[in-house]
Structure 1
Amino acid sequence: MTFSLVARCAETGMLGVAISSSSPAVAARCSYTRAGVGAVASQNVTDPTLGPLTLDLMERGMSAEEAIAQMSAQSRFMEYRQVLAVDAQGRTAIHSGPNSLGIWTQAEAENVASGGNLLANDTVSQAIVDGYLSAAGHIGDRLIAAMRAGLAAGGEAGPVHSAGMQIAGKVSWPVADLRCDWTEDCPIAAIAAAWEVYKPQLDAYIQRALDPREAPSYGVPGDD
């Protein structure tokens, strides 16, 4: 009941996840990034421990493929899980258990991997990868373009209600973490609208954390 991608920007080294589902608050349970390490999406009968575990393994020096293999070997009920990973070198790996729901597919290329379950058809994951590779600009723009491509290819078999996008840069926290936890409208459109507002302010929010003396003003009440 989910489709997603994990990706790396070859130019900046930024890492990201974008995801959408018919379930509520999908990004809260399924999206994980760590600066300089990788990005992971853990979905399909979700176990929220798998994302941090996979990132921990990559941080210890494993490639995405090695981390997915080790995570799968030491975790339970992997026949029900679908886990995607990209590491800081752009290597990708996917585990899709045989009990993944409905039509499930996966696709990957250098710097990007996509997977989904309960999909409308078997072209969605490849459409997401192609959408990411053909898009230009900031990794956030490319993640949204990829999700829109997946939706245009059919998306989930039913309507999606939640979505999220998380991006890691050079600091220890996600530099963007945008979510739509429930809507009767299109949650991917909601994330895209939020990104248009957030993108111009992203660097300023980082600067405010690192050194507020140099941070720009945004004209909020009481801000001189």
Structure 2
Amino acid sequence: MTFTLLAIDRSSGLLGAGTASLSLAVGNSVLAIDPAVGAVASQAWTNRALRRRVLDAIRDGASVDEAIDAVPEWDDGHALRQVAVIDIEGRIASRTGAECGAWAGERRGDDHVAIGNVLTGEDVVEALSDGFRAAAPRGDGAAPEIVFAERILSGLIAAERAGGDRRGRQSAAVAIAAIDRDAGLPADLVVDLRADDSVDPLSELARLLDLRAAHDGAPAVTPRRG
């Protein structure tokens, strides 16, 4: 039902997440970032509580693998869940329940993970990863969080072009936080943009990111859907 990217930008000290779906307000239900811990996504037949459980476990000393491996202990419906996390060191773990719906799976890359379920095929997560990695760096003075958000949005757009959510599209979101080992909660996000109900949510997200960049005095930087 959803495709999602979690990533870290080591050079700028940023955590990021982006997601798109034929679901209302997917950013509210799927993504969570703790600047002292990492970024997490819980999707498919979403159990929102898993986001906090995973992040709390890592904050308390568990590895990313231990936190994800504990999902079946926390959730009797784990076969319906797809969960992934990237911590502030760039370590990644994920799991896809056996009943998440075809096609469902993941692709891991350097400093990012792409996951999805009820997609048109595996090429969607491949495009999500490739689109993120291939996004051209900018030299126009845009703030690092805007550039990072643009890269994540580029991945989402590439995934949709590859087929995306097999049911269609409705909402999308991108969130960025500065890594801060001493940060408390709630998280202070430097970018938190959502298109909660749109006929073309990724274009709407691009428009919102343009406005966010302009607010910082930077030129518009978002990719166009051509």
Q: TM over 0.5, yes or no?
A: yes
Report the equivalent of 2:191: 176
C-alpha deviation, 1:136, in angstroms: 4.0
* Unmatched segments (≥5 aa) in structure 2: 138-146, 218-226
Tell me the secondary structure at the aligned position of residue 157 of structure 1.
coil
Tell me the secondary structure at the aligned position of residue 55 of structure 1.
helix
C-alpha offsets along residues 63-113 of structure 1, whole Å, 9 cap, x if unaligned? 322221123433321100001111101111111000012211211123111
Report the equivalent of 1:40: 40
C-alpha deviation, 1:183, in angstroms: 1.2
Q: 2:71·2:78 contact (CA, 8 Å) conserved in 1?
A: no
Report the equivalent of 2:94: 94
Question: Separation in 1 of the partners of 2:72 and 2:133?
Answer: 28
TM-score (norm 2): 0.84
Tell me the secondary structure at the aligned position of residue 191 of structure 2.
strand
Report the equivalent of 2:209: 195
Report the equivalent of 1:222: none
C-alpha deviation, 1:202, in angstroms: 5.8
Which amino acid in structure 1 is aligned with residue 45 of structure 2? V
* Unmatched segments (≥5 aa) in structure 1: 204-224
Tell me the secondary structure at the aligned position of residue 199 of structure 1.
helix
Question: Separation in 1 of the partners of 2:60 and 2:8?
Answer: 19
Largest Rg, 1 or 2: 1
Cα 1:41/1:134, change in 2 over 3 Å: same
Which amino acid in structure 1 is aligned with residue 202 of structure 2? I
TM-score (norm 1): 0.84
Which amino acid in structure 2 is aligned with residue 34 of structure 1? D
Q: 1:2·1:117 contact (CA, 8 Å) conserved in 2?
A: yes
Report the equivalent of 1:157: 166
Question: Separation in 2 of the partners of 1:67 and 1:50?
Answer: 10
Q: 1:92·1:110 contact (CA, 8 Å) conserved in 2?
A: no
Which amino acid in structure 1 is aligned with residue 204 of structure 2? A
